[in-house]
Structures are given as C-alpha cells and as structure tokens.
Amino acid sequence: MNRGGDNRRTLRLSPDAKRFLVGKKIKESRTILADKQYKKFADILAALRKFVGDAGHSGSKVLPGERELAERFGAGRPTIAKALDVLAGEGRICRTHGGTRLLPQRQRHRYGYLASCHEVNGAFWFSAYQRLWEHLEKQFAAANLHVDLLKFYPNGSSVAEQLEAFRDYDVIFLSLVGRPRSELVVEKLRSQGSCVFLLNETDELPDYPLYALGNREVGRIAAETLLARGYRQAAIMGPTVNASSHDFRRRIAGFLDAWESGGGGYTGLFLSYLNGGMEELMLAQKCFDKLPLQNFDCAFFLCDDWISIADELIEGKGAPRFGVLAFDGTMKARRHFPPIDTLTHGTVPLATKLREIAEEMENGSFVLDPTIRCRLSPTLIPGETLHPLPAQTH
C-alpha cells in the first residue's frame, strides 16, 4: 500500500527469510566480537610470555595469582586462566594448588640414548642397558630435561637406514654392541651433526669422549675384595665365547695385577664355552666337575653365565668356606640363594654424569674434550658368599 505520496514499495519477507537475515547479522556480529576477543587474548598471551620471561631472568620462581594478573593486564580471570593454560602447555610454567611456578626455559638441545637391542622383541641387548636407561630418564626428568630412547638393531637393516631416523638429535649417548662395527655407527652419527658420547670401553675410537664402566677397575676391586677377606688362591671363571672381548680381557688383567701385587697366591683361569643353551650348560658342568677346586679357596666369576653352577662351590666343593664373588650385569647373582657378593655396573653414577653434561650444555658451560676417558667404578653389593678367613688358613 502506498500512503502519503510515498512511492517506495514495501518489501514483504517470509518468516524463513527474516530468520535468515537476522541470523546472518548475529553471526557477523559474533565474528567481529570473536576477532576482537581473540586479538585481546593474543595480546595478553604475548604480554604474559614476556612477563614470565622477565620473572625468570629476575630470579623469581612463583608468579602472582590470577586475580592480580587480571588487574595488571586489564582482563577477566577466565582470559588469564586460559592464557596460563597455554603457557603450561608450552612448558613455561607449572600450575598447582600452591600457585603458578616457573619452569626452566625449554632445553636447547635434543638428547637421545642409543642402545643395541634385539630385533625380534625389541629388548635391550644387555639388562645393564635397561637399567641405565631407567636411571637416565629419571635423572633428566629431575633436571626438567628430556631424553629419548633410540634403538639400534645390529643384525637389522643397514647402518645408514637405521641411523637416518636420528638425524635431528644434537647429542647421542651410545651403548653399542654387536655388528656392524661401532666405527661405522659413530662416523655416520657424526656426519649427521650429532655429538656422540661412548658408553662402552673401546680402543677403536680415540677421537670420541668416553664415559663408561672401567673393566680394569672391576678386576682390581674384585681382587682387593677377596684379598681383604683373607683369600689367597683364586679361580677366575668365565665363558670363552666372550673371553676374547676387550671387556673380559680388561677384567682379567685388572684382577691379576691387583692379585699379584697384593700377595695373592696360585691363580687358575677356567674358561668354558657357554652361551645360555642347555647343551652348553651340561658341557660346562662336566668341565666344572673335573676342576681341581681343592687347590682354591675362592672364585671370581667374570659374568653371570656360570652363576647357575655356583651352588657346588658355596656348598663345599673345594676348600672349606669357599668364597664366591661375581660380576653380574643381570643381577642374577643377587637373586641367587644365598645372595652372591656382586660387582655390577655403576649405572646410577653414569646416569648422573650424563645428566650433569646435559645441564652444562644447556647453560653453555660445557667444553667438549674428545680425548676424555672417564672410567667409572662398579658398585659392590654385599652378599652372603664371602667370609673372612682365619689367619692360619693362609
């Protein structure tokens, strides 16, 4: 209808069209509002990041509460809470019931522990590697650092294919056994830009820093422990399948040096092929039965392979009160009854040393010395198989 000379036409809209137009305007207004809110949130988040950084540089460890921050930044507490959640997700702060605490700045380097594992089940090659990894992970976590477990399969695909996946790691702690030879692995890692720390004794890689169990120290401590208890005739026992390795030769050499200088008498070296199978164990038992152990008063086991036949020594085969001491990476000797006096890997001191290195790297104070040879002492765990001998038995 046209009233008062107005020539405009009135547009009649259906109910659906009205709802559409109204809804569109509401959406547009919500979008504009959301954009403004997001910009304000982004500004507050950026300001909080700077505030957290300044607080850390000033030595502060605890941030003000949400109410104080809201007043300081002119925002609502929900906005501040959401921004703090973002900062917590970034690893800058830790929110607890006791307040909001600052965390150290994100680590500058990426760390990995690379260990030899069995391809079939992914288990560590040696149980000592498993224990070192557990301690290493705990040590790094306590220092607010992170280290990744990297697995290498000596009998798997080519070295280059396996190690290519570790290209992004700045620092790699390496426990490596088996083939291919370790030179190929460390050279490939170094060519990818990684700083490599060796955790196994080796004479083949003099240009890399070494932090490892001192196997000569194992032999020395074993000899001194037996001598201190009054033993003088020692049998050294172990498997020939491993006796040619550097680790075992070092343990034997360290033992003999300390034994002879400490006044030890007759020493016998008894090695038998033993690799865990029942047939090999039976052969080892036959060899063991023929040993003239009546000439000895103690035995030092180079590893855990002979622990299963140690009962005869403990029960009286040979001299009275026969003493048994073992180096045991699997802790099988500790589970023996009675528990055998045991030397084992110093995994806790080694993990502590590696964490200290990482902390120095993070604060920029670490100086890499490729010639360093840090050999750690084993841990001596008392058992019930060493007894002080009376003087008249010497």
Cβ(188)–Cβ(220) below 8 Å: no
Q: For residues 387 and 282, state if they share a domain.
A: yes
DSSP for 106-175?
Answer: PPSS-EEEEEEB-TTT--BSSHHHHHHHHHHHHHHHHTT--EEEEEE-TTSS-HHHHHGGGTT-SEEEEE
Amino acid identity of residue 99, one-letter, is G
**β-strands 341-344, 379-381: how paired?**
antiparallel
Structural domain range at position 54? 15-102
Q: For residues 254 and 385, state if they share a domain.
A: yes
pLDDT at 244 over 50: no
Residue 7: per-residue pLDDT: 53
* CATH number of the domain within which 243 lies: 3.40.50.2300
Report phi then psi at 174, rounded to 5.
Answer: -115, 115
Report phi then psi at 101, rounded to 5.
Answer: -105, 150
Dihedral (Cα; 189, 193, 199, 205), 10-degree rounding: 70
Residue 146: per-residue pLDDT: 85
Q: For residues 255 and 385, state if they share a domain.
A: yes
Q: For residues 199 and 225, state if they share a domain.
A: no
In a domain, 9, yes or no: no
Q: For residues 258 and 384, state if they share a domain.
A: yes
Of 73, 102, 131, which one is at a domain's C-terminal end? 102
Q: Give the CA distances from residue 220 to residues 1, 63, 331, in Å, rounded to whole numbers and listed in that order.
A: 114, 54, 20
Find, among 392, 360, 356, the residue nearest to 374 by Cα.
356
Q: For residues 44 and 174, state if they share a domain.
A: no
Q: Name the domain count of the chain.
A: 3
In a domain, 200, yes or no: yes
Encode 276-327 in three state secondary structure.
CCHHHHHHHHHHHHCCCHHHCCEEEECCCCCHHHCHHHHCCCCCCCCEEEEE
In a domain, 272, yes or no: yes
**Least confident interval from 143-152, 171-180, 205-214:** 171-180
In a domain, 290, yes or no: yes
Q: What is the pTM of this model?
A: 0.66
Report phi then psi at 122, rounded to 5.
Answer: 75, 5
Q: For residues 93 and 153, state if they share a domain.
A: no
In a domain, 360, yes or no: no
Please give the residue that has the higher pLDDT: either 393 or 361.
361
Q: For residues 383 and 246, state if they share a domain.
A: yes
In a domain, 7, yes or no: no
In a domain, 2, yes or no: no
Residue 57: per-residue pLDDT: 52
Residue 331: per-residue pLDDT: 66
Q: For residues 202 and 139, state if they share a domain.
A: yes
Mean pLDDT of the chain: 78
Residue 95: per-residue pLDDT: 74
CB-neighbour burial class of residue 178 (10 A; exposed 0-12, middle 13-18, buried 19+): middle
When pLDDT is cut at 50, 70 and 90, the band that residue 131 belongs to is confident
Supply 324's token pair: 């048994």
When pLDDT is cut at 50, 70 and 90, the band that residue 222 belongs to is very high
pLDDT at 385 over 90: no
List pLDDT tens digits, range 53-111: 676 555 566 778 888 888 888 888 888 888 888 888 776 777 776 677 776 666 788 99
Q: For residues 340 and 223, state if they share a domain.
A: yes
The separation between the first and the last C-alpha atoms of the chain, rounded to the nearest angstrom, is 131
**Least confident interval from 67-76, 279-288, 360-369:** 279-288
For the segment 246-263, the average pLDDT, to the nearest whole number, is 88
pLDDT at 160 over 80: yes
